[in-house]
Structure 1
């Protein structure tokens, strides 16, 4: 498991990037949103 920070435009981007990164790494990772808009 890795801790990963994601810079994104909104909640949909965050969800999609979580799924893509988990699929690429083959494991469940911890994610932190780095966005100015509320999620």
Structure 2
């Protein structure tokens, strides 16, 4: 149980970091944002 929750924590932190990275890219490049939408 402890092992699986640790993996879940790593996955969540990874996705949060990925999301923040994507947001910074989108705010820096408005042209990319339009292409993604």
TM-score (norm 2): 0.45
Which protein is richer in helix relative to its size?
2
Which protein is richer in strand relative to its size?
1
- Which structure's CA Rg is the greater one? 2
Higher relative contact order (CA 8 A, sep 6+): 1
